[in-house]
Amino acid sequence: MSNTSPTSVFWNYVVECLRLLYWIYFKPFTFERWLSDIHPELKPRDNPFDKRAEFRINPRLRRYAGQVWWLIAIVPMFAVLLVAPVYTLISGESFDWFKSCSFLMGWFIGRVLDRGGNKNRLVIILVAILALFLAAIFLSGVAFVVAFGVAFGVALGVALGVAFILGVLRVYFWLPELLWILTLFLLFPNEKRVNCLRYLPPRFDELIILPLPFMDVMIVEAYGKNPDAARETINYLITSTNQQKVAAQAISGIAVDILNRCQRLSDIVDIANQLAWIPSPPPKELGAVLPQFLDISQNVRASEEATSPYRKYELLNIPINALRQLGQSLALTKNARVVVSFGNTAQSWLTILETAQRTLEEQAQQSKEIRQVYIAGNSLDPETARNRFKGRIDIFREIETLALSEQPPVLLLYGGRRTGKTSALKYLPYRIQANIVPLLVDLQGAASATTLKGLAENLAQQIIEAARRLPRRVYLPHPNANKLAEDPFPALQTWLAEIERNNSGKQFLLCLDEYERLGEVVEATSSRAPLNFIRNLLQHQRKWILLFSGSQELSELDDYWSDYLINTRALRMTYLHELEARDLIQQPVENFRDIYEPTAVNEIIQLTRCQPYLVQLVCYELVELLNRDIRRNRREADTAKVTVQDVKEVIPIVLERGDQYFRELWRSLTDSDRSLLRRIIHGETPTPQDKGVIRKLTRKEILTPEGNAFQVPLVQKYIEQLLEEE
């Protein structure tokens, strides 16, 4: 048997009702979570008596329903008892207890007779009743009961207006809360404000409508003393109150404060860790700026973890360029708060990184090891690779000449894999006249779209981003989203025409890299709309020039391509000229040390046939070989040079590291192609019947025109190794 007395049970019930009333007015988010624990479908606005059938199996639901009934029945009575003396004091008139009690008695009887049948919503009822009763304080000469149940017209309108101001905006709660926050802010110094976080008004009132000052300032100041307490307060404001804006302002203030405190490179490296707790996506007050700073911090960390001073120096170019771009974009933003908050930070970080880079450059020059400057595999980016891109002057000159002609043709830049096509397109803005605006679009990514709308959106976004990346940035408008969704490619045509009108005197060179991927889109969508768009662009918009880049000639594609690309000028991207290859080997960057014996350079030229990717790959492995020997004291750092024997030693490593390139080349061949190559490797002489295959493999830069030798000895060595494994 329970030892709990009836009196204790009664007062526990009363306390629960009062707590429920407190939650309704001050803790609606806590109230909602509590209700979901009672019943997963129960909301504050719901009438619990609608779920009467579940009372027997859910005692907590039945108890809550009873508490709701008592609150709705009793609260008006207590409200009258509270308001009556205040009304008498302010108005100087006697309170009409008879009318009020009559009304309340009728109210109570009505609740008894209609127990559970009323569809009124709990929160609305309680807020409206309490607001209307409290409104009587401000209604001179008008009895509250008359305003609630009898009066009409002006009296009722005034009552409802005052009730809205007081009830909805909760002014009668906000005034003491305002006084409280001012007291906390003024009486406690900065170092003590961390202790005030638990006493902020939202801790007691989750539904503050009118703004309260200084809360975000107090949280920011507290973060310096107790980050955990500040983060807990921010999380509470976000998840359990309607003060998300205050939380966002606090996050912004903390982020700006931390970013501005960076004085050394190590401080910037640690930023990503310090701000890892900020939710993603970050608050709109931070816009897209904070993620950029976090990316910059991550790139600085990558630089710090590089294996040599020169690699650190090189990798710092990425965050330095990002900071310069960020500074330029901040200068153009219309949000003054973002400019003030982050503009100085960007400049301060840039100074720190540039100073660190100069120090690393000095360390690299003093280092005994040879700088690893060769880049094998990825396309070269002018912002990071600088002058590593060699030659191709004839290609740039041809593109510029054709683009400036009165009726420029479609340009087709084609060549084998990793011959430098994409690199050339990236360097194009630095090599042609300013009135031509090259815009690089990667169709390999665009072709992943499964709908025409997706393809059009991807094309537009890449064009906009390409314009922003130009040395002299061009900011293009976004196409009309509604029109793009309705009919994608006509909307794109309208958009390109708008760009043309807004940039008089400019010609736009639209470079479509990996153009063959458009065929995949045609097959996936069973529509030639993308190709019709290209034809329309060629015929009607003279300021737009098209350049296709890929590994296949038009003759190797499906027949329908020739219907769309009639006037086409092909530009072949092949091996480097020998002088260009020698320059790449011996002077990949300025002030590069002479590390090659002349015979070693000749050996590299002979093995690679000046294929740019293979030249970079061989030289990369040779530098790695020299540095290993220097570290093991096998060679003197000041006099170490690459020999012919070194070149031969790295060939197996080159074949292994370049496996993807060689294997892709092998897979692109047909059975008849492979059969001929096997026979040549085994010493057989091609027959007259092999002439067609020989011409094909010559175009692919695998065999010489005679058909009895490989153009690139490294390719032959890979195929020989592959055949030995079969």
User: Half-sphere exposure of 585 toward its Cβ, with a 13 Å CA cutoff?
Assistant: 31
Opening angle at CA 113, ends 109 and 119, nearest 5: 105
Residue pair 27/206 in contact by the 8 Å Cβ criterion: yes
Residue pair 271/297 in contact by the 8 Å Cβ criterion: yes
508 bridge partner residues: 437, 544
3 state SS of 412: strand
Q: What residues contact 151, with CB distance under 8 A and at least 6 apart?
A: 142, 159
> What pLDDT does residue 604 have?
96
CA distance 187 to 195: 12
**What are φ and ψ of residue 571, in 5° steps?**
-120, 120
Q: What is the rounded average pLDDT of the residues 498-516?
A: 88
> What pLDDT does residue 127 have?
45
CA distance 421 to 441: 13
Confidence check: pLDDT of 119 > 50: no
CA distance 663 to 651: 16
Pick the range with the lowest mean pLDDT from 164-168, 434-438, 448-452, 712-716: 164-168
Band of residue 676 on the pLDDT scale cut at 50, 70, 90: very high
| 102 closest CA partner among 148, 134, 142, 135 | 148
**Which H/E stretch holds residue 441?**
strand 436-442
CA distance 366 to 637: 11
Tens digit of pLDDT for each residue in 180-219?
Answer: 888 888 887 766 777 888 889 988 888 888 888 889 889 9
Residue pair 36/60 in contact by the 8 Å Cβ criterion: no
> What pLDDT does residue 672 have?
92
Evaluate the omega torsion of the peptide bond into residue 686 and state whether it is cis, within 30 degrees of 0: no
> What pLDDT does residue 109 have?
58
154 against 91, higher pLDDT:
91
Band of residue 289 on the pLDDT scale cut at 50, 70, 90: confident
Q: How many residues does the chain have?
A: 726
Band of residue 168 on the pLDDT scale cut at 50, 70, 90: low
- According to DSSP, residue 149 is labeled I
The domains of the chain are located at 6-168, 170-260, 284-367, 392-572, 578-657, 661-725
Write the single-letter amino acid at 725: E
Strand ranges of the sheet holding 507-513, from the earlier edge strand across to the other edge: 436-442, 507-513, 544-550, 410-414, 568-572
Give one word for 242, left, alpha or beta, with left for phi > 0 and alpha for psi -120 to 50: alpha
E-strand ranges in 219-331 read: none
**Which H/E stretch holds residue 549?**
strand 544-550
Residue 581 corresponds to which tokens in the numbers above? Answer: 């290859």
431 against 167, higher pLDDT:
431
3 state SS of 413: strand
Confidence check: pLDDT of 154 > 70: no
107 against 348, higher pLDDT:
348
| 220 closest CA partner among 209, 231, 212, 235 | 231
Of these ranges, 397-401, 522-526, 545-549, 558-562, the one predicted with the greatest mean pLDDT is: 545-549
Q: Is 70 exposed, middle or buried (0-12, 13-18, 19+ CB in 10 A)?
A: middle
E-strand ranges in 554-702 read: 568-572
CA distance 222 to 581: 61
For residues 302-336, one letter each, b for 16 or more C-beta atoms within 10 angstroms of the residue's C-beta and e for the rest, the string is: bbeebebbbbbbbbbbbbbebbebbbebbeeeeee
What pTM value is reported for the model?
A: 0.65
> What pLDDT does residue 38 have?
83
118 against 554, higher pLDDT:
554
3 state SS of 511: strand
Residue pair 184/223 in contact by the 8 Å Cβ criterion: no
- For the chain, what percent of residues have pLDDT higher than 90? 21
| 582 closest CA partner among 568, 603, 558, 552 | 603
Band of residue 440 on the pLDDT scale cut at 50, 70, 90: very high
> What pLDDT does residue 156 have?
40
Band of residue 354 on the pLDDT scale cut at 50, 70, 90: very high
* Average pLDDT over the chain, rounded to an integer: 81
Tens digit of pLDDT for each residue in 229-273?
Answer: 888 998 888 888 888 889 888 988 888 888 988 999 999 989 878
Confidence check: pLDDT of 108 > 60: no
Confidence check: pLDDT of 430 > 90: no
Band of residue 673 on the pLDDT scale cut at 50, 70, 90: very high
101 against 668, higher pLDDT:
668
> What pLDDT does residue 149 have?
39
> What pLDDT does residue 175 have?
86
Q: What is the rounded average pLDDT of the residues 607-633?
A: 92
Assign domain 392-572 to its CATH superfamily.
P-loop containing nucleotide triphosphate hydrolases (3.40.50.300)
Q: What is the rounded average pLDDT of the residues 61-90?
A: 73
> What pLDDT does residue 85 have?
75
Confidence check: pLDDT of 60 > 80: yes
> What pLDDT does residue 1 have?
44
Band of residue 117 on the pLDDT scale cut at 50, 70, 90: very low
- For the chain, what percent of residues have pLDDT higher than 70? 85
611 against 55, higher pLDDT:
611
Band of residue 657 on the pLDDT scale cut at 50, 70, 90: very high
Please report, to the nearest 10 degrees, the dihedral formed by the alpha carbons of residues 183, 189, 194, 196 taken in order: -20
Confidence check: pLDDT of 662 > 70: yes
Instruction: Count CB neighbours of 631 within 10 A.
Output: 12
> What pLDDT does residue 593 have?
87
> What pLDDT does residue 91 have?
65
> What pLDDT does residue 470 have?
84
Band of residue 290 on the pLDDT scale cut at 50, 70, 90: confident
Tens digit of pLDDT for each residue in 377-387?
Answer: 778 888 777 77
Band of residue 118 on the pLDDT scale cut at 50, 70, 90: very low
Band of residue 503 on the pLDDT scale cut at 50, 70, 90: confident
Write the single-letter amino acid at 326: L
Tens digit of pLDDT for each residue in 548-607?
Answer: 998 888 777 877 787 777 778 888 999 999 999 999 999 998 888 899 999 999 999 999
Pick the range with the lowest mean pLDDT from 152-161, 311-320, 465-474, 681-690: 152-161
Q: What is the rounded average pLDDT of the residues 359-373?
A: 82
Confidence check: pLDDT of 90 > 60: yes
| 333 closest CA partner among 343, 322, 321, 319 | 343
